[in-house]
Amino acid sequence: YKRVTVKSLIEMKQNGEKISMLTAYDFSMAKIVDSANVDVILVGDSASNVMAGHETTLPITLDQMIYHASSVVRAAKRALIVVDIPFGSYQSDSKEALRSAIRIMKESGAHAIKVEGGVEIKDSVKRILQAGIPVMGHLGLTPQSIYKFGTYTVRAKEEAEAEKLKEDAKFLEKVGCFGIVLEKIPANLAKEVADSVSIPVIGIGAGGGVDGQVLVVHDLLGMTHEFNPRFLRRYLNLYDEMGKAIGQYVADVKSKDFPNTNESY
Ligand code: KIV
Ligand code: NA
């Protein structure tokens, strides 16, 4: 397998090849995602929701992110592995931010980190980049700021917020980030941003005018059936499929159909 690198992502943008990105938080899922040739695996802090059942991404810790990331690293042979730096581990000061980023890189073996925010975290972003750690930005609906927004609705519909987002994107490019995630913003704004920077812009709920797409793998597979944003395309309904299979197992145990003689020693 030829490993996808931050350099190959920039080349993909230059060649007009769209980048595919998907989350994974554990070994078994990461193996499937990697084998399907997904370019970038994001060990997202959405693990807080999807894996741990929290309502927001805020509670997940640096140690927990490192645990998820190291599991993914052991599985993925081809994809570039990007890890979310969790809430509270990079906002207080740039030294702590760098320390957190170093822990992720050293203890998990992942290839890059992702931060939420723009100019307000400039010192931290610069410091992490100076240590040679590739950084991806994340703008628009940044879930670690959900209590500031108060809702999960589309961001940057108003001029002021759109202008700030464009400035943040230019800042992240200038300072040396290798890519930017744009979450839940108008498609025309996302396209404008993607056209204005040389680094890849990966969208989620940001339309088709960007350089690539990212989804939470459990959403794409239909394992999280109560989550229904319009940007989500469901490729399977695994919630029902898995429920049916497990229900059949229960019935087979109860009826003594399982195990049969071929399944016994
Ligand atoms: O944590 C996550 O899954 C993310 C993606 C939705 C971009 O940040
Ligand atoms: Na995230």
Which domains, from first to last, does the chain contain? 6-234 (3.20.20.60), 237-265 (no CATH)
Ligand 1 close to Cβ of residue 216 (< 6 A): yes
Active site residues: 183
- Distance of CA 84 from the midpoint of ligand 2 (Å): 6
Q: Which residue has the least CA distance to atom 5 on ligand 1?
A: 44
Ligand nearest to the CA of 42: 1
pLDDT tens-place string over residues 187-244:
999 999 999 999 999 999 999 999 999 999 999 999 998 889 999 999 999 999 999 9
Global pTM reads: 0.98
Q: Which residue has the least CA distance to atom 2 on ligand 1?
A: 44
Ligand 1: nearest atom to the Cα of 202: 7
- Distance of CA 101 from the midpoint of ligand 2 (Å): 15
Percent of the chain with pLDDT over 70: 100
Is this complex's ipTM strictly greater than 0.95?
A: yes
Ligand 1 close to Cβ of residue 215 (< 6 A): no
Ligand nearest to the CA of 152: 1
Per-residue pLDDT of the chain (265 residues; tens, 9 = 90+): 799 999 999 999 999 999 999 999 999 999 999 999 999 999 999 999 999 999 999 999 999 999 999 999 999 999 999 999 999 999 999 999 999 999 999 999 999 999 999 999 999 999 999 999 999 999 999 999 999 999 999 999 999 999 999 999 999 999 999 999 999 999 999 999 999 999 999 999 999 999 999 999 999 999 998 889 999 999 999 999 999 999 999 999 999 999 999 999 9
How does the average pLDDT of the chain come out, rounded? Answer: 98
Q: Which residue has the least CA distance to atom 8 on ligand 1?
A: 44
SS (H, E, C) the chain: CCCCCHHHHHHHHHHCCCEEEEECCCHHHHHHHHHCCCCEEEECCCHHHHCCCCCCCCCCCHHHHHHHHHHHHHHCCCCEEEEECCCCCCCCCHHHHHHHHHHHHHHHCCCEEECCCCHHHHHHHHHHHHCCCCEEEEEECCHHHHHHHCCCCCCCCCHHHHHHHHHHHHHHHHHCCCEEEEECCCHHHHHHHHHHCCCCEEEECCCCCCCEEEECHHHHCCCCCCCCCCCCCCCCCHHHHHHHHHHHHHHHHHCCCCCCHHHCC
Ligand 1 close to Cβ of residue 116 (< 6 A): no
- Distance of CA 260 from the midpoint of ligand 2 (Å): 46
